[in-house]
Amino acid sequence: MNARTEILNRLRDSLADAPVAPEVPRTYRRKSAAGAAEVREMLIDRLVDYRATVHSATTDELPGLLAGLVSGPVVLPDGLDRAWLPEVTVVDDPLEAACVVTSSTVSCAETGTIILTGQPAEGRRALSLIPDHHICLVPAETIVELFPEAWERVDAVGPITMISGPSATSDIELERVEGVHGPRRLDVVIVG
């Protein structure tokens, strides 16, 4: 008998009298009981905690707000309404852009997560990851409290990008570094 077989036999023997694990009911909340204003405030709180800057605007206020937020040449997804950005330099290559403006599919307030699924107003995944500054438009009606509610609105047939604040990581000494794996700066505009 070799060492591997001996060790596996000892493991089997030690587990032989183990009781069967009890069945644990999974009673996750799947529907929110909170109102829209409370859910919106929860999302804002989480995003600010993650070091994102959050703004609110109506569609009429959006062009003025975006004009003040855009930092340098901007890349836009094909389906985003360009009338919202009348006075900016638009480039086609994300490598040439300092900034990207996208929309979003749904946002989960509980986790502070914005989900992009590559829809026309969100663009392909590289658009939201390469430029150093991401301005993400979050339609107010797409904010939900719980992740199961958010996931129900996601058509998971292509790449999905989940954003919870600017890209950040910490080294072994817990020194936070932003912008290593995506945009260093995130502005979220809740529209509506």
Residue 26 has pLDDT above 70, yes or no: yes
Amino acid sitting at position 170 = S
Phi-psi region of 160 (alpha: psi -120 to 50; beta: other; left: phi over 0): beta
Reported for 146-151, long-range contacts at CB under 8 A and 24+ positions apart, including other chains, are: 146/29, 146/30, 146/31, 146/32, 146/108, 146/110, 147/108, 147/110, 147/111, 147/113, 148/28, 148/29, 148/30, 149/30, 149/31, 149/32, 149/108, 150/106, 150/107, 150/108, 150/113, 150/115
Residue 41: CB atoms within 10 Å: 13
pLDDT confidence band for 155 (50 / 70 / 90): confident
3-state secondary structure of 190: strand
Tens-digit pLDDT profile for residues 30-61: 888 899 999 999 999 999 998 999 999 999 99
Report the pLDDT averaged over residues 178-184: 76
Residue 179 has pLDDT above 70, yes or no: no
> What was the pLDDT predicted at 21?
80
Residue 174 has pLDDT above 80, yes or no: no
Average pLDDT value over all residues in the chain: 90
3-state secondary structure of 99: strand
3-state secondary structure of 110: coil
Amino acid sitting at position 175 = E
> What was the pLDDT predicted at 164?
86
- Quote the percentage of the chain above a pLDDT of 70: 99
Q: What is the dihedral of CA 88, 89, 93, 95, to 10 degrees?
A: -90
Q: Comparing 12-16, 130-134, 170-174, which segment has the lowest mean pLDDT?
A: 170-174
∠ CA 159-123-74, rounded to 5°: 135
| 49 contacts: CB under 8 Å, gap ≥ 6 | 112, 165
Extract the tokens encoding 159: 């790449």
